[in-house]
Amino acid sequence: MKRIIGRLNPEDRHVNIWGAGFSGLILGYYLKDQGYSVTIYEKSNKVGGKIQTKKTAHGLAEKAANALFLNQDGIELIRELKLEPIIATKKLKRLILLKGKPRRPFQIKLFTKIALNAYKKPPLISDGLTVADFFEPLIGEENLKNYVSPALGGLYAETAEKLHFKSIFPQVGKRAQLDSYWAFIRMLMKHYKSQPKLETSGSVSFEGGMQTIINRLAEILKKDIKLNSKEPTKLKGNTVICTDAQSAAELLKEARPELSAELERIKYKQLSSTTVFLKREIKSLNKSFGTVIPLNSGFHSIGILNNKAIFPANNPNISSYTFIGHQEVGRKEIVEDILQLSNEITQDDIEHIETTFWDKALPVYDLQLFLAIKKLHQLASKEQNLAIFGNYVAGISLRDMISAAKNFSRNPADYAENP
Ligand SMILES: Cc1cc2nc3c(=O)[nH]c(=O)nc-3n(C[C@H](O)[C@H](O)[C@H](O)COP(=O)(O)OP(=O)(O)OC[C@H]3O[C@@H](n4cnc5c(N)ncnc54)[C@H](O)[C@@H]3O)c2cc1C
């Protein structure tokens, strides 16, 4: 598991947290649970950061995260918070758009390539290796473009050529060379088999959307949150910075210029999230939970979520879909995508559209981020009461952040992990 960078002084039982997005709130929650008192300073006038659910007359529209993918820590958190999860139906599948149609990701062509090339020795696992470098000898350029890039794009919004292999597959650990691709496949299978069996699995949301989890955390921490906070002139006592990397760089500019310079190197991807409410279903998507779309396939969006999977309580006469696109993708482009997906739907079927643009949507998990994180761990190992956390540190998904925050709060002074 990836660790929050830095350490705290356990003799001082108070922690100042900067940022009340999911990372700041979840860390505040677990630290409080361990007997620390916390103050969470938030620059804006609201908590939750990117997680925001808008209630419209037609149903719910998420501005960023649509669901929490469960692990054991996620299950325990939901129970502790006394939340009622809505479990996404397993009947709907994760699909890939190929030749204009959503299809199952595992196609004969892909399997055949894997079977034929699995005996090959993969390239050396160096720091500079990208996901594309690793998989190309196994499955070839076309399969990489059609399957691996869109599948990873659904999580990281980047192509295999950009994504850094060791960051995406931390399971390889410190191994530099694998004997064959079979060894890699076996290693992944062993890793997944070693994970504890979950009583509930898959993705969940809540009746009020993802805002529900934010509201519950904010309720527990209500006396500890200070909205509209000005940047501190000096860092005092135990401090954890829980913002995006660029804001963290700004916060640490004076006090820790070296840390600040590393944080500044971390790049972000711009994205848009558009929820469309339609009078009828897009038939080609009716069996999909989510559909990822290869680049250069003639579509503007890179992924589509079928909201009936997670919002069954929405108006049953309205179908809603969330389209994730690159920054420049807005209403016009999403309507073009819908018309391409269905020749039955017309402009008159569109009831409502909600679009959110995120300038710093997700950190780019590339070599630069890997090197910056490595350096940040080295620099922060000298710190006694400073730590940094957020989705560029411990994983993009909320479930990774839950596990990292829980783990850190149990022993925030320990810095045993060799990054
Ligand atoms: C379109 C989209 C879809 C996604 N879908 C999913 C999904 O389905 N499932 C999932 O698990 N994850 C998903 N994610 C990822 C997840 O939403 C994010 O990783 C997570 O919400 C980020 O939380 P954070 O606390 O790291 O950052 P943020 O949400 O950015 O919070 C940072 C907070 O710090 C505050 N801040 C900044 N500067 C300062 C300062 N100087 N002082 C005080 N406060 C400051 C900000 O105002 C903000 O409130 C998605 C992300 C996007 C963009």
Cβ(324) to ligand 1 under 6 A? yes
pLDDT of residue 99: 83
Residue 43 belongs to some domain of the structure: yes
Which CATH number belongs to the domain containing residue 119 in this structure?
1.10.3110
Residue 227 belongs to some domain of the structure: yes
| Judgement on whether residues 40 and 160 belong to the same structural domain of the protein | no
Q: How close is the Cα of 311 to the center of ligand 1, in Å?
A: 22
Using CA atoms, how far apart are residues 169 and 246, in angstroms rounded to an integer? 25
Cβ(362) to ligand 1 under 6 A? yes
Cβ(168) to ligand 1 under 6 A? no
Which CATH number belongs to the domain containing residue 390 in this structure?
3.50.50.60
Domain end point (choices 163, 194, 225)? 194
Q: Taking the CA of residue 67 as centre, how many other CA atoms within 13 Å lie in the half-sphere pointing to its CB?
A: 23
Q: How close is the Cα of 84 to the center of ligand 1, in Å?
A: 23
Cβ(271) to ligand 1 under 6 A? yes
Mark the ranges of the chain whose per-residue pLDDT is less than 70. 1, 312-314, 416-419
pLDDT of residue 82: 97
pLDDT of residue 229: 95
Ligand 1 atom 6, closest CA: 65
Pocket test for ligand 1, best of 301, 321, 391 (most atoms within 8 A of CB): 391
| Judgement on whether residues 120 and 190 belong to the same structural domain of the protein | yes
Using CA atoms, how far apart are residues 78 and 300, in angstroms rounded to an integer? 35
Structural tokens at position 201: 């699995």
| Judgement on whether residues 373 and 256 belong to the same structural domain of the protein | yes
Q: How many domains does the chain have?
A: 3
Q: How close is the Cα of 42 to the center of ligand 1, in Å?
A: 13
pLDDT of residue 298: 86
The amino acid sitting at 181 is Y
pLDDT per position as a tens digit, 178-191: 999 999 999 999 98
| Judgement on whether residues 11 and 143 belong to the same structural domain of the protein | no
Residue 75 belongs to some domain of the structure: no
CA angle 237, 259, 130 (to 5 degrees): 135
Domain holding 257, by residue range, is: 5-51+210-267+364-410
Q: CA-CA distances (angstroms) from residue 10 to 15, 65, 286, 386, 409?
A: 10, 33, 52, 12, 10
User: Is the pTM above the cut of 0.75?
Assistant: yes
| Judgement on whether residues 242 and 371 belong to the same structural domain of the protein | yes
| Judgement on whether residues 250 and 370 belong to the same structural domain of the protein | yes
Residue 255 belongs to some domain of the structure: yes
Cβ(359) to ligand 1 under 6 A? no
pLDDT of residue 98: 86
Residue with structure tokens 């904010």? 218
pLDDT per position as a tens digit, 78-105: 999 999 999 888 788 889 998 888 888 8
> At a CB cut-off of 8 Å and minimum separation 6, what does 327 contact?
270, 271, 272, 357, 358, 359
| Judgement on whether residues 253 and 323 belong to the same structural domain of the protein | no
Cβ(302) to ligand 1 under 6 A? no
| Judgement on whether residues 376 and 251 belong to the same structural domain of the protein | yes
Using CA atoms, how far apart are residues 264 and 326, in angstroms rounded to an integer? 22
| Judgement on whether residues 177 and 158 belong to the same structural domain of the protein | yes
Using CA atoms, how far apart are residues 18 and 23, in angstroms rounded to an integer? 10
Contact 114, 136 (CB under 8 A): no
| Judgement on whether residues 389 and 280 belong to the same structural domain of the protein | no
pLDDT of residue 313: 67
Q: Which atom of ligand 1 lies nearest, measured to the CA of 362? A: 53
Which CATH number belongs to the domain containing residue 290 in this structure?
3.90.660.20
Using CA atoms, how far apart are residues 88 and 136, in angstroms rounded to an integer? 33
| Judgement on whether residues 156 and 216 belong to the same structural domain of the protein | no
pLDDT of residue 417: 56
Pocket test for ligand 1, best of 50, 274, 389 (most atoms within 8 A of CB): 50
